[in-house]
Amino acid sequence: MIVFASALTFFFVNLAPGSPASIMRFDVSPEQREALIRLMGLDRPVPQRYLEWLAGAVRGDLGTSLLTNEPVTARIGDRLPNTLTLAGAALLIAVVVGIPVGVIQAMRRGKPIDHLLSLLTAIGLSVPVFWLGIVLILVFAVSLHVLPSAGVTAAGSDTFADRLTHLALPAIVLATTILPTVVRFTRSSMIEVLHEDYIRTATSKGLAQVTVMTRHALRNALIPVVSAIGALVPRLIGGTVVTEQVFGWPGMGRLALEAAQGRDYPLVTGLTVVIAGIVVALLAVVGPVLWTIPPEATDPIHGLAGSSSVHPLGTDELGRDMLSRLLHGSRVTLLVGLAAMLAAIVIGVLVGAVAGFKGGWIDGALMRFTDAMLAVPAFFFILVVITVLGTGVGTLILVIGALSWMPVARVVYGETLRWKTAEFVIAAESLGVAGPRLLLRHILPQAIPSLIVSATLGVAFAILTESALSYLGLGVQPPLPSWGNMLQRAQLYVFTAPALAIYPGLAITIVVLAFNFLGDGLRDALDPRRRR
């Protein structure tokens, strides 16, 4: 995920119009501008620059800022603690305030206090964060003079109390990005729990209301609330950009804005990698808590149940939680799609590069074989192979990958033919570079943009193929869930429980559509005719 995020950001910002040299505020001659571009290394092909950046990133070197000439890791390291402090304080406020407010609303459902708090929650969802920040500055900093309006500390002061007062307003504003959602989830979950039999039993035994709420109701109601909070963490981190700008908070949000406005490519990419790493790490920590119901856990008594706080998407015919099965099924479906495309890329790059680079009879033999494979109806052939080899995730990956490499080979073949006669390749040959070294270091990197486009479209094909095979009973086998085999059983209950068929189908459609949109966008971005 982190590598994908870095590649997507790197190619996007480097292929976008403009560069650091193009937005300079002082006049320079064309010769000076070209010299500056060469000095920044922006004259080299984008794929080559990404591979060089990636090699450095593996060693902990995220490059050098183009605008300040400082190491990217140093600039991020200076700002990261401030952003983590702000996000942590905002999360604490959202939890400490949001959960009690939601509990109060559930306990006083339909009463004036419930309506008032619901109105405030709706307002919180509607108010722009930056406007709220400006209003709070006017009230507490300009009018009342009780809180500072900007910065981390006052000049000449670095006490804990001073830092706390500077943190108050930005943390409150950032917390409002997720606070209304926490309140709503808590209220909804508590209302569901308060109608359970064990709550009525505890109340009938004479237990105090506070005891019933804290020891019985809230403990069970917190499960979906914790799930919601974990899913809101990326939104919270994203909200730091606006909040830090409003309050002059020197964090990664402001740094990202400065980097984007200044076309500081290494800094933008480094920030993306660090933020993606934080999100992945947080999700890895809270992931087991997000949804603890096992996908194979059955409850026949509550089979085909509708949506509830315990089962937000209902249950299937065996009482298994649909949300849990969708989440675990996404792992299997995406694993097959991504791994199959990786296998297809390895085979396709090998065949296409060797054919285009060697030429002669090797070219003829490999490309005629590729054409013959393209003429074979892929899905029918996959059916035959699966029937012979048997089912399983590993078999699916190998079979789909082995029968979907041909478009990749065609793309790499065309790019190899195109670039092997380029001037810089001929110059490299004149310097003694030849064979695999010439192919790997000078020709293949030029095919990376086209390869990325082909890969995104190939993932979509692999996901659809896996889903179809699983639907036919030849793919992922129960009890392991996948979106395809979920649809196989859902068709039997299409009249009594149509949601069983709608949720997996929507998941497949959205994911495949996303990969297709990504492929279309990359195709347009990498089309040289659109950049003329």
Q: What is the pLDDT of residues 386-404, one digit of tens each?
A: 767 777 788 888 888 888 8
Report pLDDT for 310.
65
Helix-helix angle 252-261:240-247, to 10 degrees: 90
Residue 477 is given by DSSP the state: P
The CA-based angle 171-177-180, given to 5 degrees, is: 110
Torsion of CA 232, 238, 242, 244, to 10 degrees: 100
Report pLDDT for 316.
75
Give the closest residue to 466 by CA, choosing from 457, 456, 474, 458. 474
Residue type at position 215 = R
Q: What is the pLDDT confidence band of residue 172, given thresholds at 50, 70 and 90?
A: very high
Q: What is the mean pLDDT of the chain?
A: 76
Who contacts 340 (Cβ-Cβ below 8 Å, separation ≥6)? 396, 397, 400, 401, 404, 458, 462, 465, 466
| Domains with residue ranges and CATH for the chain | 81-254 (1.10.3720.10), 322-531 (1.10.3720.10)
| Token pair 């033999």: residue | 365
| Token pair 């109608």: residue | 195
Residue type at position 413 = Y
Q: What is the pLDDT confidence band of residue 270, given thresholds at 50, 70 and 90?
A: confident
Query: Count of residues for the chain?
Result: 532
Q: For the chain, how are helix, strand and coil distributed in percent, rounded to 5?
A: 75, 0, 25
Q: Taking the alpha carbons of 479, 485, 487, 491 in that order, is the dihedral positive or negative?
A: negative
Examine the pLDDT at 366 and tell me if it is beyond 70: yes
Examine the pLDDT at 220 and tell me if it is beyond 80: no
Give how far Cα 481 sits from Cα of 24, 62, 185, 496, Å. Answer: 55, 39, 27, 21
Q: What is the pLDDT confidence band of residue 530, given thresholds at 50, 70 and 90?
A: very low
Q: What is the pLDDT confidence band of residue 93, given thresholds at 50, 70 and 90?
A: very high
